[in-house]
Amino acid sequence: MFSNILIYFVVIPLLMLGLLAVSQNMKQIRAVAVTGSLALLGLSVYLLTDYLSLRAAGADAPMLYTDSWSWFAPLNINMAVGVDGISIAMLILSSVILLTGSFASWKINPHPKEFFLWLVLLSTGVFGFFISIDLFTMFMFYEVALIPMYLLIGVWGSGKKNYSAMKLTLMLMGGSAFLMLGLIGIYYNGGHTWNIVEIAQGNLIDPSWQNFLFPMTFVGFGVLGAMFPFHTWSPDGHASAPTAVSMLHAGVLMKLGGYGCFRVAIYLMPQAAEELAWIFLILTGISVVYGAFSACVQTDLKYINAYSSVSHCGLVLFAILMLNTTAMTGAIMQMLSHGLMTALFFALIGMIYGRTHTRDIREMGGLMKIMPCLAVCYVIAGMASLGLPGLSGFVAEMTIFIGSFEHTDTFHRVFTILACCSIVITAVYILRVVGKLLFGPVYDEHHLSLTDATWWERTSTFALIVCVAAIGCFPNFFEELIKFTFSPQIFAVIGMN
């Protein structure tokens, strides 16, 4: 079992849990959190290079490093693992954000030990989800990742945290109720197996059942992807969550939704996707535009970015539903880009809030003079968000819209144009915040005595900025990584054109 490299993505977090449980003071807790997440990052980078060399050497299975250990044998449930380029991209994203999140919660208070225990449990679920190719274990890890949110927001959050924590948990679990029904349906109508690769390669699900199961799974994951009208947990949840949790949640957990929509709903049920995509295109199109408009009128920094997440994550689902190689490549890029950039945003907001004790943009101003380092980082994050070339947002959105425009019918064109408008609206709310918050006169003279970023805050933000710029400058590399999954032979196998 331990000869497979992937299993260590679950083993390391479990070891971290054990070590955290016995650690005595803040130093040990930080040491465990940083070492563990560095180990995970190293592991995922190693996996990346190894994967690329395997592909270069001609490996052509849809998933590599596959392995399967029998678990509930009578029901054919296995602990099956395997990754392709998309999963690896997500693993790297998760480990980067876990690492930077640990730095961002360097001085978390109170109960630091329990905070990190729940945080690491959450990431156990995340990593387990991305390495699984068995629907049962995938679903199990998915729920493991959801439930710590309740306590993380409830205990360490701010504002109306009780309400937000409960709303978030119930809505996400509500989504997973649909998901569970969908997955059990897939098992019975997909040849009595839970293995994604087997179902996809055999195209085992009967088309009439696909039309029922596709909406179930797509809505199930779509709730986590903040699809309209199931997005309302996201603003409240993000606004109340502590910094590192907002980072992980917007950066990684919402990607579980997009990844799941692709990996389960579309990968396994291509015919239904073809047939029913229009319904969800309308919904995600609304998410994209509505999220952006909502962000324009918010005054709380976290609400602004939460609504902007709704808009950007909506774009991920929107692109996936275009069902062509270019748009889907763009969707994966957008997941990476949005994950890193939102994590950066939330980290910065957390740092600013920690100093000014307000997140209301009307009560702040001129921060560029007071904390230049944080302010510059904020501008960079903003530029990435509105799609400045050279940063990640540009390549992702560009690819998505080019891919979407490949459809020649009016319906797709109209919705693509509508979604394109969101870029303009994004520019409006980003520039509004940057102008009000960072430039202009200092609003409150008490703010003049505030300090700039500490070393751990710089580590956290600079690491994220480097990643954002890396995607923006070397998009080819990431395209190389994920293109195999979207290559024609795989599409042919799963019945897509």
Applying CB under 8 A, which residues contact other proteins? Answer: 71-75, 136, 140-141, 143-144, 147, 150-151, 154-155, 161-162, 165-166, 169-170, 173-174, 177-178, 180-181, 184-185, 187-188, 212
Q: Is 72 exposed, middle or buried (0-12, 13-18, 19+ CB in 10 A)?
A: exposed
How far apart CA 265 and CA 168 sit, in angstroms, is 23
Nearer to other proteins, 134 or 397 (CB): 134
DSSP state of 435: I
How far apart CA 440 and CA 267 sit, in angstroms, is 50
Nearer to other proteins, 75 or 421 (CB): 75
How far apart CA 245 and CA 102 sit, in angstroms, is 10
Minimal distance, residue 154 CB to other proteins, in Å: 4
How far apart CA 237 and CA 219 sit, in angstroms, is 19
How far apart CA 249 and CA 343 sit, in angstroms, is 9
| Residue 271 CB coordination number (10 Å) | 17
Element (H, E) at 72: strand 64-72
Helix boundaries (H) for 132-193:
135-146, 148-156, 161-189
Nearer to other proteins, 154 or 440 (CB): 154
DSSP state of 261: I
How far apart CA 325 and CA 494 sit, in angstroms, is 13
Minimal distance, residue 125 CB to other proteins, in Å: 9
Nearer to other proteins, 205 or 453 (CB): 205
Minimal distance, residue 362 CB to other proteins, in Å: 28
CB 253 within 8 A of CB 224: yes
Nearer to other proteins, 150 or 491 (CB): 150
Nearer to other proteins, 182 or 235 (CB): 182
- Could you tell me if residue 377 is left (phi over 0), alpha (psi between -120 and 50 degrees) or otherwise beta? alpha
Minimal distance, residue 380 CB to other proteins, in Å: 36
Integer Rg of the chain from CA: 21
Minimal distance, residue 308 CB to other proteins, in Å: 28
Three-state SS for 495?
A: coil
Nearer to other proteins, 65 or 129 (CB): 129
How far apart CA 489 and CA 497 sit, in angstroms, is 10
Nearer to other proteins, 239 or 400 (CB): 239
Closest to 308 in 3D by CA, of 235, 259, 244: 235
How far apart CA 493 and CA 497 sit, in angstroms, is 10
Minimal distance, residue 33 CB to other proteins, in Å: 21
Minimal distance, residue 162 CB to other proteins, in Å: 7
Structure tokens at 11: 């083993």
Minimal distance, residue 218 CB to other proteins, in Å: 15
Minimal distance, residue 216 CB to other proteins, in Å: 9
Nearer to other proteins, 177 or 414 (CB): 177
